[in-house]
């Protein structure tokens, strides 16, 4: 094997043989806690290269620029850090960083990447990500979803239903498993905690989770795969998906064997809590205390409501979130990302991220809920002019069809206090969170 170390310049010089043509290129992607990135490109030639020529890698990307709070489109060049040439195959390794839009594996990557070799643009592009591709794609017309189907002869196999957060909404049927490490549930190591096999279902929503449509899809999967154990179906999700989890179990309190809302933007009804007390379904709440997006008080409120109803409820709290691969200077800024601990099957012990940041024992949550009133009535952003910027009140020109008057906008605060007992899985008799979840049955 001949190894070429690439100079990090806009145009990369690579050894190619005279007349050698590049037949195709594969964009190789990998999932991480912070999203999916294209980490290398494999170029296949019709014969082994041997002569120097130019290679250029460009992509036209659109991303959210939070400095101007708008989508920005630009053409970028990705500069290889190493090339490995073996026979008629060239592997170009690309640098990547967490949360860098330049390396993101966009769903339309094969359309926005332009790869030119020896003056020839390669038009035959494919993108592969074995972890993502292990999840089959389905669309029943009202709900599209991904499904990991384990290879197993077992007659009864559990299933986890994962509900994504607001950032993964869309129609690509990919973001809900690529934006964070949902694929980790499908690894052999994770599957072992569920008896060696577990279905993983991940619907994708638009405009919030439609639990009726998602339940119809769940029933469709049960009919298609009769070895799924109806007594061991679990539902969980993060942020908006945590709220979706609560809405799902509020609506179908008898269906699931367990639920695990994470940093949930939602609430549980008293009627559902009473049903859980009667049927024994446990709810496991997970949250980071420093969450600046969804306050930990939402978990505190749900915990106390379930306790008061006599339902089985557990909670694991973390002081902060450390995310693997994210620059150290971002520590303390990602408190909303407590789902990363769940995807990595936390045990809340040891000196790793979830162990060092686990908050053990009782924690008292105090504060005040703020709510806005307009002219004495609950404020509704949907009544503002269509072109408003919610961060810039100067753009709020009309409200409910009339001129917006900032003097009519007031804020009221309602104090709260919740006490939560934060447990590690070991306190519940299990080594890890997945062990606890896989043991639950109706």
Tens of pLDDT, residue by residue over 323-378, are: 877 777 777 779 999 999 999 999 999 999 999 999 999 999 999 988 999 999 99
| Mean pLDDT of all residues in 231-256 | 98
CA nearest neighbour of 45 among 67, 19, 68 = 19
Domain ranges of the chain: 2-128, 135-360+424-438, 368-416
What's residue 120's pLDDT? Answer: 81
pLDDT for 404 beyond 50 = yes
Higher pLDDT, 344 or 85: 344
Residue with tokens 């790869």: 115
pLDDT in tens, 17-30: 345 677 899 999 99
**Percent above pLDDT 90 for the chain:** 77
Q: What is the CATH number of domain 135-360+424-438?
A: 3.40.50.1820
What's residue 18's pLDDT? Answer: 42
Tell me what the pLDDT averaged over the chain comes to: 91
**Percent above pLDDT 70 for the chain:** 94
Higher pLDDT, 12 or 390: 390
pLDDT in tens, 250-268: 999 999 999 999 999 999 9
pLDDT in tens, 187-230: 999 999 999 999 999 999 988 999 999 999 999 999 999 999 99
CA nearest neighbour of 21 among 84, 88, 86, 93 = 88
What's residue 85's pLDDT? Answer: 84
Give every CB contact of residue 72 below 8 A, 6+ residues apart in sequence: 62, 63, 64, 65
What's residue 15's pLDDT? Answer: 37
- pTM score, whole prediction: 0.87
What's residue 324's pLDDT? Answer: 76
pLDDT for 4 beyond 80 = no
What's residue 19's pLDDT? Answer: 52
pLDDT in tens, 141-179: 999 999 999 999 999 999 999 999 999 999 999 999 999
What's residue 5's pLDDT? Answer: 36
pLDDT for 11 beyond 50 = no
CATH 2.60.40 is right for the domain spanning 2-128: yes
| Mean pLDDT of all residues in 32-56 | 85
What's residue 2's pLDDT? Answer: 35
What's residue 8's pLDDT? Answer: 30
């Amino acid at each position: 094997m001949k190894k070429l170390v690439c100079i990090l310049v806009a145009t990369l010089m690579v050894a190619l043989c005279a007349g050698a043509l590049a037949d195709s290129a594969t964009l190789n992607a990998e999932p991480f806690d912070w999203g999916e990135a294209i980490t290398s490109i494999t170029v296949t030639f019709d014969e082994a290269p041997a002569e120097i020529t130019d290679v250029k890698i460009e992509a036209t990307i659109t991303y959210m620029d939070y400095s101007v709070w708008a989508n920005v489109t630009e053409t970028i060049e990705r500069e290889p850090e190493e090339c490995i040439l073996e026979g008629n195959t060239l592997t170009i390794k690309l640098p990547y960083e967490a949360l860098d839009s330049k390396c993101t594996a966009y769903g339309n990557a094969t359309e926005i990447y332009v790869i030119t070799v020896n003056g020839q643009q390669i038009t035959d592009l494919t993108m592969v990500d074995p972890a993502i591709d292990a999840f089959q794609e389905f669309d029943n017309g009202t709900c599209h979803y991904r499904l990991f189907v384990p290879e197993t002869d077992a007659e009864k196999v559990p299933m986890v239903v994962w509900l994504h957060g607001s950032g993964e909404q869309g129609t690509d049927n990919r973001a809900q498993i690529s934006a964070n490490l949902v694929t980790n549930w499908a690894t052999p190591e994770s599957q072992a905690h569920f008896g060696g096999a577990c279905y993983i279902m991940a619907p994708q929503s638009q405009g919030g989770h439609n639990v009726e449509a998602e339940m119809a899809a769940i029933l469709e999967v049960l009919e298609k795969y009769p070895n799924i154990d109806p007594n061991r179906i679990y539902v969980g999700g993060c942020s908006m998906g945590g709220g979706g989890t609560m809405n799902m179990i509020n609506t179908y309190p008898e269906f699931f064997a367990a639920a695990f809302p994470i940093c949930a933007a939602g609430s549980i009804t008293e009627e559902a809590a009473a049903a859980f007390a009667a049927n024994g379904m446990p709810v496991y709440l997970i949250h980071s205390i420093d969450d600046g997006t969804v306050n930990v008080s939402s978990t505190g409120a749900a915990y106390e409501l379930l306790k008061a109803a006599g339902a089985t409820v557990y909670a694991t709290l973390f002081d902060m979130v450390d995310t693997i691969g994210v620059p150290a200077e971002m520590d303390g800024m990602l408190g909303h990302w407590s789902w990363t601990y769940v995807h990595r099957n936390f045990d809340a012990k040891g000196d790793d991220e979830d162990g060092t940041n686990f908050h053990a024992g009782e924690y008292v949550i105090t504060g005040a809920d703020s709510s806005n009133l307009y002219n004495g009535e609950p404020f509704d952003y949907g009544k503002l002019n269509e072109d408003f910027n919610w961060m810039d009140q100067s753009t709020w020109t009309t409200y409910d069809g009339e001129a917006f008057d900032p003097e009519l906008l007031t804020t009221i605060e309602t104090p709260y206090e919740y006490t939560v007992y934060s447990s590690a899985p070991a306190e519940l008799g299990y080594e890890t969170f997945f062990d606890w979840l896989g043991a639950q049955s109706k």
